[in-house]
A and B are shown apart, each in its own frame.
Chain A
Amino acid sequence: MGTAHDYDVIWRESGATLWRSVYAYAGGIREVADDAVAEAFARAMSRDGEVRDPLAYLYRIAFRIASAELARRKREESQVSEQAIADPNQNGLPDLLGALRHLSPAQRAAVYLHYRADLPVREVARLTGMSVAAVKVHLMRGRRRLRELLGEEDEA
C-alpha cells in the first residue's frame, strides 16, 4: 500500500488548475468539469493507498471522465456549443471559448496546461496520460488554430 495523501492540500494547491484544464478540455461546459473533477477526487480518496502519484491520477481520471461524458453527449447530439457559451459571464470569455471549441479537447487541455498553467510539455504529458509526442501534437495544432482565430501579435 502506498502513502496516504492530503487531498485537502492538493485541492487547495492544484484543484483550480485541474478544474480549469478540464473546463477548457470540455470546451467550457462547467457541468462536465465539475462532475469530472469531483469524481476524480472521490476516486483518488477512496483508493488512496493505491495511488502513487495523486496529481497525475486526478488529471487522468478527470480527463477520462470528461472525455467519456463528451463522447456520450456527442452521441446524443446534445447542444454542446450552446451550453458552453451560455455558461461564462466574464468579458471576452465566450469568444475565447468559441475559439477553443475549434480545437480538439486534448488540444484545449494541452494548450491550457502548457501556455497558461506554464507546465512543461513532459509534465503535461505526465498529468494527462498522453505521450510527450501527443502533447506536442496538440500544442502545435492548438497554437496554430488559436493564432488564426484570436490573432497573432499584440497591436501595441
Chain B
Amino acid sequence: MTERWRKRLGELDDVTPSEDVYHRAHDGPRMPEEMIPRPSTGTRIVTGVAAFLVFALAISVFAIPALRMKDGAGSAAQVGLLPLWPARALDDLEALQARADDGDEDAVWATDPAKSAERFGTDVMGWEALAVEEIVGQEIVDEVGTATYTETAYPDRVGVIYECPYNAWCPLVASVSLVDYPSGIPTGGYEQTISPPSPYRTFSIQQCELGCFGSYTFVTLYQPLEARDGGIWAVLEVRSPDASFNVGTGQTIADGFAIRGEADVVNGTATLGYRSGIGACDLRGTASGNAPAWNDVNRVEVDLAPGDEMGCADAEAGYVWLGVGGPVDSGEVIPPVDPFDPDADGHLAALSAVPVTFLREDLSSPDASTATETATAVTPPPSVGPTPATEVDRVAYTDPLGWTAEIPATWSIESADYSDRVTTQGAWFQGDGLMVAITHTEGGPVSVPSDDSHFPLDADEVLVRGEGDWFGGFSGDGLAFTISVTEESGAAISPDQAEMVTRLVESIRFEPWTVGETRNGWTAIDRPRDPHSYWADVGGNQVIAAWTGDGFVIVDAVDTCGEGQNMTYVDGWPVLECPDGTTVSYDGDGHALPGNPPEYQGSVDVYPAISAHDGHLLAQLP
C-alpha cells in the first residue's frame, strides 16, 4: 500500500548540510535586518484561544434573519446587517443593480459572485494577482481532511477544504485545503446531500504575486436585494485565519463593548477597527500595533457617545474589521486603513470583517424592538416544553434534534426554530438575567462533519468567555451546535450566573446509538476496538471503513460478485473474494487496487465517517 514517492523522499536523507553551516552561524547574522521578515513567534495577538470563529457563530443566533434588506432601510439610520462591499447603503446597492441591469461594464461584474470575489481581492485587499476558488460541497480526501469541490472551474482550478464553517465549533483556526481539478473529482454529486444549496457563495482568495503562497482569505457573498440571475452580489463577511476578533457576523454591540483582536503579523502592522453608521452618522475607532505583545493595543472600546451630535440613531448598522498590512513598495510599513473606506488604498496581507449592529443603549435583549426580526421568530412547539425533572429546581428540556439539558425551573424556554436564508433549530433559555441559546444552523456556507464532542462537556473548555457574552460550541449526533450566553443587562456574568451556565452546559446529553440506527443523515456502524480498516455493513451495503490514521472514511459499497463471495482481508486490508477467484478492493481514496478484474477498475465514492459521542462510528452515505 505504500506509495512509491513516500519511499523516494528518503533519498533526501542522503543529503547533508555543508560542513560550515553551523560554524558560520557563530559569526553572527550577515543579512541586513530588513531582508528578513520578523518571525511571528511573539506576534500572535491573543485574547483567548481562538475565540473568534466561535464568536462568529453568533450569526446563527441573531444575524441571519436580519440579512434581508427591507424597503425603507436606506434611511439615515440603517439597522440590521448591511453588506460590507461593494456598497453598504441600500441606495448605493440599488444604484449598482440599476447600472448592472443597464449593462454597465463597471457594474455587470457584480452579478457574478466569483468576479465579485476576485474584484474584492484586487480593489480591497490591493492584490495585483490572486487565485479565486469557490467553496462548495465536500468530500473526504484521505488523511488531510475533508475536501470540497465543484465542477465549475473558476478560473481554472476548483475545490477547497474548509474545516471550520461558521456554524460549527472550531477549536483552533479555519482549515483549508484544495484539490486540483480535475484530479480527484469523484463522480456523483453527493456533496449536495450534505448541505443544501446555499444562498451564500463563499470563495477563497489567495494572493499570487510571487506564486500563490499566501494565506487564504474567505469571502462570503450573498444577494442583498434579490436572489435572482442578474442580481448583484455583495460581500457579507470576510475571514482570514490570520486576523480574527471576538465579534461575529450579526452580533449586536453596545456602547463601551471591547472589541479584541488577534492577528498573525509577519511583517507589517495590524489594525483593529469598527465603524458605525452610514452618511452623517459615522463613528469610528481603531487601534494598531505590531509589537510582539499586543495586549494593551489589540482592543478597541466602542465609543458611540458622540452619536447625538452626528445624528445617529440608537441602533446603527456597522462593521468590525481587522486588517494586517505589509510593507508598501517603498518598504515602509504603515498601518492599514479601513479597507471599506472609499479612499483606502492599502495592501493587506489578511483581513477579517463582519457586519454588526451598534446599539447606543442597552437594547440587546432579543425581544427589544430594535433587535430586527429575530424576536419574532420564536414560537415554542408543544413538544418541546419543559417537563418535570427529578430535581425540584430544574426541568429537563428535550430538543427535537435529540439533545437534552437540565434548565433552572424558573427559566423560560423558547424554541428557536426558524428559517430565512438559513435554518436555525434549537432553544433559548432565559432567566436570572441570562439568555442562553443552544442552536444548530443549516444552510449557510458548507459545513464539514466533525467527531462528536465528549459528554459531559467541560464548560471551561467549551465556552469562550467575553465580557458579558460567552460563546462556544459542540458537536453531537453529527451536528454542530452553538452556545451563546448573554448577560441581559450587559454587565459581566456573575459567579452565580456562571455556575448556572456551567451546570446547564454540562448537563447536555445525547441518546446512545444502536448499530444501524440513522439520525440526521448519519448511520451508526460498529467499530473495532483497535482502529484498522474493516468491512462494515451500512444499511445492508458492504462498505470499507478505511482507517486513515486520524479517523475513518467510508469507501462506498463495493459491487458484489454474486453468491459465494467472501468478505475477507489481505494483509489486513478488506478484500472481496469472488467465486471465480478474482479479488476486488479499493484504497482509502476509493481507487481500485491492482488486481481488480476489469469490471472493477473504476473508482468508487468515499464518504465521511465520524466518531459518535458514545464511540460508534457514524457513516454518511447518499
Contact = CB atoms under 8 A, between A and B. Distances in A.
Interface of A: 7, 11, 15-16, 19-20, 23-24, 30, 33-34, 37-43, 45-46, 50-53, 56-57, 60-61, 64-65, 67-68, 71, 74, 88, 90-93, 95-96, 99, 104-106, 111-112, 115-116, 121, 129-134, 136-137, 139-141, 143-144, 146-154
Contact of B9 (A40, A52, A115, A129): A115
B203 interface: no
A146 B460 CA distance: 44
Contacts of B161: 133, 136-137, 140
Q: Output the residue of B3, B15, B147, B163 with the most chain A CB within 10 A.
A: B15
B173 interface: yes
Given A52-B42, A151-B3, A19 B28 contact: no
Interface in B90-105: none
Interface of B: 1-18, 20-22, 24-31, 35-37, 39-42, 141, 144-145, 147, 161, 163, 172-180, 183-184, 210-213, 215-216, 241-242, 266, 292, 594
Nearest to A93: B11
A147 B12 contact: no
Contacts of A46: 28-29
Contacts of A147: 3, 5
A152 B12 contact: no
9 contacts: A38-B21, A38-B24, A42-B26, A45-B25, A51-B41, A105-B211, A133-B173, A139-B144, A140-B144
Nearest to A51: B41
B41 A23 contact: no
A37 B2 contact: no
A43 B29 contact: yes
Contacts of A116: 6, 9-10, 12-13
Q: Output the residue of A134, A149, A150, A154 with the most chain B CB within 10 A.
A: A134
A150 B24 CA distance: 36
B178 A140 contact: yes
Given A23-B12, A131-B242, A137 B5 contact: no
Contacts of A41: 21-22, 25
Given A38-B25, A42-B29, A46-B29, A93 B12 contact: yes
B241 A38 contact: no
A136 B177 contact: yes
B215 A134 contact: yes
Given A93-B12, A140-B141, A115 B6 contact: yes
A90 B14 contact: yes
A71 B28 CA distance: 24
Contact of A16 (B16, B163, B178): B16
Main secondary structure of the interface of B (DSSP, over half): loop
A140 B184 CA distance: 11
Contacts of B12: 20, 23-24, 93, 96, 112, 116
Nearest to B145: A136
Contacts of B211: 104-105
B176 A137 contact: yes
Given A131-B215, A140-B177, 12 more contacts: A15-B21, A46-B29, A65-B35, A68-B35, A95-B8, A104-B211, A105-B213, A116-B9, A116-B13, A136-B176, A147-B5, A151-B3
Given A41-B25, A105-B213, A93 B37 contact: no
A60 to B, nearest CB: 4
A133 B176 contact: yes
Contacts of A115: 6, 9
In the A-B complex, the 8 residue pairs with the closest CB atoms? A41-B25, A133-B176, A150-B5, A136-B177, A146-B5, A151-B4, A38-B24, A19-B17
Contacts of A91: 11
Contact of B17 (A15, A24, A129): A15
Contact of A140 (B1, B31, B147, B174): B147
A71 B210 contact: yes
A96 B9 contact: yes
A105 B214 CA distance: 12
Nearest to A150: B5
Contacts of A37: 17, 21, 25
Contacts of B183: 144, 148
B285 to A, nearest CB: 28
B144 A121 contact: yes
Contacts of B184: 144
A42 B28 contact: yes
A92 B213 contact: no
Contacts of B177: 133, 136-137, 139-140
A122 to B, nearest CB: 8
B176 A104 contact: no
B29 A133 contact: no
Nearest to B23: A38
B4 A20 contact: no
A132 B161 CA distance: 12
Given A20-B13, A90-B15, A132 B21 contact: no
Given A51-B41, A56-B41, A136-B144, A129 B8 contact: no
Q: Output the residue of A115, A133, A140, A148 with the most chain B CB within 10 A.
A: A133
Contacts of A51: 41
Nearest to A33: B17
Given A34-B21, A133-B173, A92 B8 contact: yes
Contacts of B178: 137, 140-141
B241 A133 contact: yes
Nearest to B594: A153
Contact of A57 (B13, B18, B37, B41): B41
Given A23-B15, A136-B177, A129 B28 contact: no
B173 A131 contact: yes
Nearest to A155: B4
Contacts of B22: 11, 15, 38, 41
A96 B276 CA distance: 56
Contact of B3 (A71, A92, A93, A152): A152
Contacts of A149: 5
Contacts of B35: 65, 68
A111 B9 contact: yes
A133 B39 contact: no
A95 B144 CA distance: 26
A99 B21 contact: no
Contact of B2 (A95, A96, A154): A154
A154 B145 CA distance: 24
Contacts of B241: 131, 133
A51 to B, nearest CB: 7
Contacts of A88: 15
A42 B29 CA distance: 5
A140 B39 CA distance: 26
B30 A132 contact: no
